[in-house]
Chain A
């Protein structure tokens, strides 16, 4: 669409007037005083103010805006919201507010001026056009407000819902801006508005090109509407002034049906007969148990119905419907194209180029973001699985209640927060407490159940499942089925943002750090401490270890407790971002086992590799099909099942006699 020519001078005129007024204000303060207060301006133009028209009121509003009177903004705002009144007796303006049958009056400076009966006052009711002018003037006020916060708010609201009318006041407000941050924001917003609304094509192209491959969402938000297209059918050549995005070839770029629908929508071709319409037409024309000579009983196939309808058409009782050949001819006779809503080809070309550059950069950034996501997911899996890596990987004990230990840790954190409201302190307390609780639970479980079943691994699996069912139900009975909050301290809120695409929340960074700490702790424990030595000895050969003076019972108990305790700590960490429910653990148990099995049993590096593989894989599949995380999980598990076919002992397989059978 081409803008009507008269709108150009108007915009420039206002711009010019405002600039002039501002310039006068700055250059000649005395003269500005001479222009008078808001009250004086209103009084001088009383008739116009009382019955304003969009065409004539402009100078008055501009004068008010330029008056320099501190109350001008209040007066304008009140005027727009029907809060300005005129006393009939003497024609004095007041700020009015309805209260029952009375008006509460305040004079223009805001000072209390008593009340007046409703009949004494004329309430000023500017029409929509005038209100629009006032609003524009007010934009300039808020953009130049002495309070930086008001200015920032005004910028945000313009950025959220930009309009052509904002451009002029924004340009006026830039030179006077003192805050460098706000000034940069204003300038960016001015360019964004320019590329959308400026009447000058060259200015818009310059604004677009000025951004380069900027990653801001606001820029993409401004560019995308410029490139919005619609599909249009032309009889013959495209009309003058249409900004073609590309030609559409029926059968390739759009289906025959879509092409025909376009023609029908534009009234360029008759519609095909739908099944329902044909049916209705046939039903309406049943004569003596037959339609068009075809008996009703035979109308159970589409073919018979077509014959009947053709017969009716020939008889002239129903309107002719488009046949296949007519549709094909109509499509062949027309040209189809995608047409930009934006009429200016220079602008769309520039916008297309800018968006392409942005897309490439965004793609690279998204890859980086995906990598961050994958790392963070991997560290969650690692954290959930590291306890298992000890109990399953080192001791070869299947603990299906491991997930419930994670849940116990999370609930411990929740209970601690009930008593200690300082979140930082409560998290610091919850970590060791969760360890203690789950360590005790693990030791108890090992003593009471697991040590009787060391030779029967399948039954360990089942017995721990029994415990898992019981623990889950007990948690449900105590805490209820609804999710409980485990709130992160304030310094973990928010995200580390690199740009509009790449960001990572602090909680995830914390979990990554925690996973790293655990990895180092585990390595230190197993390789550098007496306990680790004894654990490895008992794992490899309990009888020989016992001969060397190690108590295998004690070591087994401690190892199991340690693995369970780490699960508790993982529970606190997971609870910070996931909902704490009694099913928290079972959501992670299969993935945790997968992590350990895929990585390779009995090797912490294997667990790390497994977690990395699963994390990257899951995020990768989610990226391919972002709408469907269920599918991502399904395909990931399928992949793991296949993976185990080819490396049954995991990524890092133990070799030699320690590998067992």
Chain B
């Protein structure tokens, strides 16, 4: 409680981890740039730079997940849906603008300058021919404008989270019910997008997103580094923002909501308002991360919204360590890189004599079981290592609880 009384201390002084994080991130970015093909010694391949850039975006969405789950105690299984929605919103502009360039170039061969109607028709056929449509659906009305779609990256997931959160929190849906409800929302969204007439190309999704409109002559190795920088910048800003959000009085309130929602409500706080703000803020951050992620991935389709993706997000945060921002980043980076290493077929198989463990097949089993182990034995995740290092230990409270609530006096304490 000394933190709250010492208002005069600066934000950074109160949160030394922010400085450390920014420093490490800066060094990492510098290192990758120096090792990249475009601006350095070409030690890292372009595809690996892309993987690292994507990992940074996943770290950003994990940060958002940590705020909503680790700090506010709301296990949302829908944040990867917001992530994908952000990707879709930017992807619409990328695909439209890129197709427009191609169509205009093709029509210029025809002898006459193309009319706007012809260009529009050409783009629609080019994009939607694959689902048997030849007109742009109404939701593509802003797709020609970069700034409008950029605003939609924030607005669409933000409004969805606002409406969904308002409905859910208002009727006091909490705990596992909320988790299941968010999962249902994700599933509904995914099923909707899988339809061909959803206006987003059904299960084909949006593709060719790695081609930047207007940058046709810039090679991919440079574009990949630019996106890496943007992702690093977004992650750094996101970290500072969230560290600031959780450090003050607001942070104390949302942690209190996590630990005992009723008590906070009786203390006069508008619990629903706080939860709604956190839910919407994290949804927007997730969407921004998605908007940076999918141009690096090149393709987005409704499978990205599958409920399992949001669960993996929770897995990363849990393994990294909930309730500490760097834990989420470590978890996301560690698990997603390890996952691509194992599933990429580069991990050596383990011969057992009677059976050979091929990690492409067994990685998910390992992940699932280690997740169970982390939940059971190391609830603090990898972040707990830092506690050990700094000598922070949970009090040893052996014995059974004497009361029904968490934090009740334990047998041993009562004796002492």
CB atoms of B191 and A634 under 8 A apart: yes
Q: How far is the CA of A543 from the CA of B216 in the complex (A)?
A: 71
Q: How far is the CA of A471 from the CA of B189 in the complex (A)?
A: 26
CB atoms of A590 and B184 under 8 A apart: yes
CB atoms of B406 and A641 under 8 A apart: no
A303, closest chain B residue (CB): B115
Q: How far is the CA of A642 from the CA of B361 in the complex (A)?
A: 40
Which residues of chain A are near B375, meaning CB under 8 Å? 453, 459, 462-463, 466
CB atoms of B167 and A628 under 8 A apart: no
- Of B112, B181, B262, B404, which is within 8 A of A641 by CB? B181
**B311 lies within 8 A of chain A by Cβ:** yes
Which residues of chain A are near B404, meaning CB under 8 Å? 543
Interface residues of chain B: helix, strand, loop or mixed (majority): helix
Q: Which of B171, B187, B375 neighbours the largest number of chain A CB atoms within 10 Å of its CB?
A: B375
Please give the number of chain A residues whose Cβ is less than 8 angstroms from any Cβ of chain B in the complex.
57
Interface residues of chain A: helix, strand, loop or mixed (majority): helix
CB distance from B218 to the nearest CB of A (A): 28
Q: How far is the CA of A597 from the CA of B180 in the complex (A)?
A: 9
CB distance from B122 to the nearest CB of A (A): 11
A476, closest chain B residue (CB): B361
Interface positions, chain A 468-492, Cβ under 8 Å from B, are: 468-474, 476-477
Which residues of chain B are near A459, meaning CB under 8 Å? 375, 379
Which residues of chain A are near B262, meaning CB under 8 Å? 661
B317, closest chain A residue (CB): A462
**A239 lies within 8 A of chain B by Cβ:** no
**A300 lies within 8 A of chain B by Cβ:** yes
Q: How far is the CA of A459 from the CA of B323 in the complex (A)?
A: 14
Q: How far is the CA of A17 from the CA of B144 in the complex (A)?
A: 78
CB atoms of A299 and B112 under 8 A apart: yes
CB atoms of B191 and A453 under 8 A apart: no
CB atoms of A275 and B117 under 8 A apart: yes
CB atoms of A470 and B175 under 8 A apart: no
CB atoms of A469 and B75 under 8 A apart: no
Q: A617-661 CB contact bits vs B (8 Å, 1 = yes)?
A: 000000000001011011001101110111010000000000001
CB atoms of A631 and B195 under 8 A apart: yes
CB distance from A283 to the nearest CB of B (A): 4
CB atoms of A590 and B364 under 8 A apart: no
Which residues of chain A are near B330, meaning CB under 8 Å? none
**A452 lies within 8 A of chain B by Cβ:** yes
CB distance from A118 to the nearest CB of B (A): 56
Which residues of chain B are near A282, meaning CB under 8 Å? 112
Q: Which of B75, B177, B372, B404 neighbours the largest number of chain A CB atoms within 10 Å of its CB?
A: B372
CB atoms of B176 and A466 under 8 A apart: no
Which residues of chain A are near B371, meaning CB under 8 Å? 462-463, 465-466, 469
**A302 lies within 8 A of chain B by Cβ:** yes
**A467 lies within 8 A of chain B by Cβ:** yes
B371, closest chain A residue (CB): A466
Q: How far is the CA of A543 from the CA of B192 in the complex (A)?
A: 47
CB atoms of B376 and A463 under 8 A apart: yes
Interface positions, chain B 85-101, Cβ under 8 Å from A, are: none
CB distance from B377 to the nearest CB of A (A): 9
Which residues of chain B are near A152, meaning CB under 8 Å? none
Interface positions, chain B 299-350, Cβ under 8 Å from A, are: 307-308, 311, 314-315, 318
**A216 lies within 8 A of chain B by Cβ:** no
* Given the contacts A465-B371, A470-B368, A275 and B118 also touching, CB distance less than 8 Å: yes
CB atoms of A297 and B113 under 8 A apart: yes
CB atoms of A466 and B315 under 8 A apart: yes
Which residues of chain B are near A634, meaning CB under 8 Å? 188-189, 191-192, 195
CB atoms of B192 and A462 under 8 A apart: no
Which residues of chain A are near B176, meaning CB under 8 Å? 398, 457-458, 461
- Of B170, B183, B195, B315, which is within 8 A of A630 by CB? B195
CB atoms of B184 and A473 under 8 A apart: no
**A455 lies within 8 A of chain B by Cβ:** yes
CB atoms of A463 and B184 under 8 A apart: no
- Of A455, A474, A630, A648, which is within 8 A of B172 by CB? A648
Which residues of chain A are near B311, meaning CB under 8 Å? 462, 465, 469
Q: Which of A300, A452, A466, A586 neighbours the largest number of chain B CB atoms within 10 Å of its CB?
A: A466
CB distance from B103 to the nearest CB of A (A): 14
CB distance from A455 to the nearest CB of B (A): 7
CB atoms of B183 and A590 under 8 A apart: yes
Q: How far is the CA of A661 from the CA of B262 in the complex (A)?
A: 9
CB atoms of A279 and B368 under 8 A apart: no
CB atoms of B113 and A590 under 8 A apart: no
Q: B92-130 CB contact bits vs A (8 Å, 1 = yes)?
A: 000000000000000000111111111000000000000
- Of B113, B191, B368, which is within 8 A of A473 by CB? B368
CB atoms of A630 and B192 under 8 A apart: yes
**A496 lies within 8 A of chain B by Cβ:** no
**A594 lies within 8 A of chain B by Cβ:** yes
Which residues of chain B are near A186, meaning CB under 8 Å? none
Which residues of chain B are near A298, meaning CB under 8 Å? 113
CB atoms of A301 and B115 under 8 A apart: yes
Q: How far is the CA of A253 from the CA of B233 in the complex (A)?
A: 60
- Of B118, B183, B368, B370, which is within 8 A of A468 by CB? B368
Q: A296-332 CB contact bits vs B (8 Å, 1 = yes)?
A: 1111111001000000000000000000000000000
CB distance from A305 to the nearest CB of B (A): 7
* Given the contacts A301-B116, A467-B372, A457 and B194 also touching, CB distance less than 8 Å: no
Interface positions, chain B 179-220, Cβ under 8 Å from A, are: 179-181, 183-185, 187-189, 191-192, 194-195
Which residues of chain A are near B318, meaning CB under 8 Å? 462
**B173 lies within 8 A of chain A by Cβ:** yes
**A512 lies within 8 A of chain B by Cβ:** no
- Of B188, B361, B368, which is within 8 A of A637 by CB? B188
CB distance from A77 to the nearest CB of B (A): 48
**A560 lies within 8 A of chain B by Cβ:** no
Which residues of chain B are near A468, meaning CB under 8 Å? 368
Q: How far is the CA of A461 from the CA of B311 in the complex (A)?
A: 10
- Of B115, B171, B195, which is within 8 A of A644 by CB? B171
* Given the contacts A453-B376, A633-B191, A305 and B179 also touching, CB distance less than 8 Å: no
CB atoms of A279 and B110 under 8 A apart: yes
Which residues of chain A are near B150, meaning CB under 8 Å? none
CB distance from A43 to the nearest CB of B (A): 65
- Of B167, B173, B179, B365, which is within 8 A of A470 by CB? B365
**A357 lies within 8 A of chain B by Cβ:** no
Q: A257-282 CB contact bits vs B (8 Å, 1 = yes)?
A: 00000000000000000010001001
CB distance from A102 to the nearest CB of B (A): 58
**B367 lies within 8 A of chain A by Cβ:** yes
A542, closest chain B residue (CB): B404
Q: A483-523 CB contact bits vs B (8 Å, 1 = yes)?
A: 00000000000000000000000000000000000000000
**B168 lies within 8 A of chain A by Cβ:** yes
CB atoms of A637 and B191 under 8 A apart: yes
Which residues of chain A are near B30, meaning CB under 8 Å? none
**A449 lies within 8 A of chain B by Cβ:** yes
CB atoms of B170 and A645 under 8 A apart: yes
**A593 lies within 8 A of chain B by Cβ:** yes
CB atoms of B167 and A642 under 8 A apart: yes
CB atoms of B362 and A463 under 8 A apart: no
A299, closest chain B residue (CB): B112
Q: How far is the CA of A267 from the CA of B131 in the complex (A)?
A: 34
CB atoms of A593 and B368 under 8 A apart: no
Which residues of chain A are near B177, meaning CB under 8 Å? 597, 644, 648
**B369 lies within 8 A of chain A by Cβ:** yes
**A286 lies within 8 A of chain B by Cβ:** yes
CB atoms of B368 and A455 under 8 A apart: no
User: Can you identify 19 A-B contacts, CB atoms within 8 angstroms?
Assistant: A275-B118, A279-B110, A296-B111, A458-B73, A459-B375, A462-B315, A466-B372, A469-B365, A470-B365, A473-B364, A473-B365, A590-B184, A594-B180, A633-B188, A634-B195, A638-B188, A641-B164, A641-B185, A642-B167
Given contacts A467-B368, A543-B404, A633-B188, 8 further A-B contacts (CB under 8 A): A275-B117, A461-B176, A469-B311, A469-B365, A470-B369, A476-B361, A634-B195, A645-B168
> Which 9 pairs across A and B sit closest by C-beta, in order of nearness?
A470-B368, A466-B371, A469-B368, A300-B113, A637-B188, A473-B364, A283-B111, A466-B372, A466-B368
